[in-house]
A and B are shown apart, each in its own frame.
Chain A
Amino acid sequence: MNTSCRQCEHFVTDPKELETFIPGLNIVSSAYGSVRADTAYCKSKDIFLTPILACHAFKSLPLPAIRQN
């Protein structure tokens, strides 16, 4: 299974979370804008990146309920 940052618990990609995470980001910018594209933050490695294939620090998000049934 080709997992990536998107399935990782360390990956902060929600715009509202990003704007809370970086105080002041929403003053003259926005996490909801096109320029941000898929840029997000990895809490494990403390870096910004666009999603890539899972690294050794990968920690899976829970599967959606439909899968668990």
Chain B
Amino acid sequence: MGNTQDAWNESGEPRKVGSMGWKELYLKEDWWAIWFGIGLMVLAVVLFNSGSNFLSALAVNPGGVKWSSLDQLAGHFAKNAGMYALQFVFWMALFGVSCSIMGIKLKEFIPSFIFLYVLSMATFSVAGWVNAAKFNLEAPLVALVAGLVISNTIRLPKWMDSGFRVEYFIKLGIVLLGATFPITLVLTAGPTAIMQATFISLVTCLVIYFSATRLFGLDRRLSAVIGVGGAVCGVSASMAIAASVGAKKDDLYTSVTLVVGWALVMILVLPFASQALGLSAGVAGAWIGTSEFADAAGFAAASAYGKMAGHEDTAIKAFTLMKVIGRDLWIGIWSIVWAFIATMVWEKKETGTAPNAREIWWRFPKFVIGFFVASMLMTWFTSGYTTDEFNKVVKPALIMPLVSLRTWAFLFCFLSIGLTTRFRELKAVGWKTFAAFTIGVAVNVVLGYYLSAVVFAEHWSSL
């Protein structure tokens, strides 16, 4: 049932059909990621200018301890107990207030987030073991596997999903990433990423769509939904296109299973495949950027491989260029094109969405604005420092605390992916649909590899 209050205005008249308008600024997680991400960045600059290391202390995590005995780990927690308590309150307040305003119940969010925070500490602790790298116990992979095991064995109550906000956490992380991402890099490397990503997206979408409709005789609406799911940005894209083409509930549900299934496979396979192939962090990041379907899953894979290769930052930057800038930004255009096809080419129906150019803005992933703003602001702020000053003063006192906060946001995200993935709830998918999607995945991965590791190898390796 819809929300009665939103349906009618104060005079009892129906609210107009149209976009959310200004309400979006506090009802969408993208905007909260912007407010908090930019806010934290500004706070970091203010504290840096005042000579304070408060943010650095607040961003503490056990991942960097490199402990070899449990006493050492316990000592770290004992020494920083006060800061961890403050940090917990900080995260709880930040996410709790915003989630409550967005309509998520606090009585569900609070206990759930407590559970997530404790699990995050445990995950960081594992990754902070001195021999963790030897056994590839990278935090993103440990988080994902731990989450999957818990959610599929212990059967956490469904209401706990209120605290496992995968997308919100990754969006905040991406805005914070912007603060460490020079805008000059976006301007110089962005066009190549957009060109490569667009080409691969078009080919993959068409391969999935025509495999589904021509080879397997599947419904064209379902085919469009899974096509963009595999070619653009996963379930979010599927949801947008579902409205454009008037898809059914089962079509989106099918896309969820396919995207989630393959996304999890890619998180686990791509880092080790990249390692086996000896790819540089930049090349692997770009390859993951075209092979993964969702930002959250892709960051997990890129971060994991980046840590393996000893260049996490490079892998994440390459991934961001390819996936966030190369693919995510253009979802509105995909929506319009498919709406046009559905309403003007297939058939005109009573329902379904006519193409509307405003969808480019309505569906624009707003958190990317935060990423760009953070990048521009930080580039401007640090432009007055020499390279030596930047490395010795700015990086440790201003940049690294933001990196650490970003790492926390990312880990909340990776754990949440595992904790929300209950295999028993996913829809069983027919073999034809699976085959059509998988053909697209294969083309996507191979083409992505060829362009990243061969054609543009020098470009990505030089990041």
Residues of chain A having any CB pair with chain B under 8 Å: 1-9, 11-17, 19-42, 45-53, 55, 61-64, 66-67
Contacts and interface: CB of A to CB of B under 8 A. Distances in A.
* Nearest 9 interchain pairs by C-beta: A67-B12, A29-B235, A28-B294, A30-B167, A48-B242, A39-B243, A23-B425, A24-B256, A37-B362
B256 A12 contact: no
B351 A55 contact: yes
B293 A28 contact: yes
A24 B246 contact: no
B365 A22 contact: no
Nearest to A4: B17
Given A37-B19, A38-B20, A27 B6 contact: no
A53 B161 contact: no
Interface of B: 1-8, 10-17, 19-20, 24, 27-31, 102-104, 158, 161, 164-168, 171, 233-240, 242-243, 246-249, 252-253, 256-257, 259-260, 263, 293-294, 296-297, 331, 350-353, 359, 362-367, 417, 420-422, 425-427
Given A27-B421, A28-B296, A32-B167, A49 B246 contact: yes
24 contacts: A1-B13, A6-B17, A7-B15, A20-B158, A22-B249, A22-B256, A24-B422, A25-B235, A25-B239, A25-B256, A27-B260, A29-B234, A31-B239, A32-B29, A33-B171, A33-B365, A41-B249, A46-B249, A48-B248, A49-B246, A61-B4, A61-B7, A62-B4, A67-B8
A23 B351 contact: no
Q: Is the contact region of chain B dominated by helix, strand, or loop, or is it mixed?
A: helix
B177 to A, nearest CB: 17
Contacts of B14: 1-4, 6-7
Given A3-B14, A6-B7, A38 B263 contact: no
A13 B235 contact: no
Contacts of B364: 34-35
B4 A35 contact: no
Task: Give the one of A26, A37, A52 with max B CB within 10 A.
Answer: A37
A50 to B, nearest CB: 5
Nearest to A67: B12
Nearest to B237: A35
A12 B417 CA distance: 25
Nearest to A1: B14
B168 A22 contact: no
Contact of A64 (B4, B24, B331): B4
A26 B2 contact: no
Contacts of A2: 14, 16-17
A55 B350 contact: yes
Contacts of B350: 55
A59 to B, nearest CB: 10
B103 A16 contact: yes
A39 B2 contact: no
B144 to A, nearest CB: 11
A62 B421 CA distance: 36
Contact of B239 (A5, A47, A48, A66): A48
A13 to B, nearest CB: 5
A45 B425 CA distance: 24
A48 B252 contact: yes
B240 A39 contact: yes
Contacts of B256: 22-25, 27, 29
Contacts of A19: 161
Contacts of B10: 66
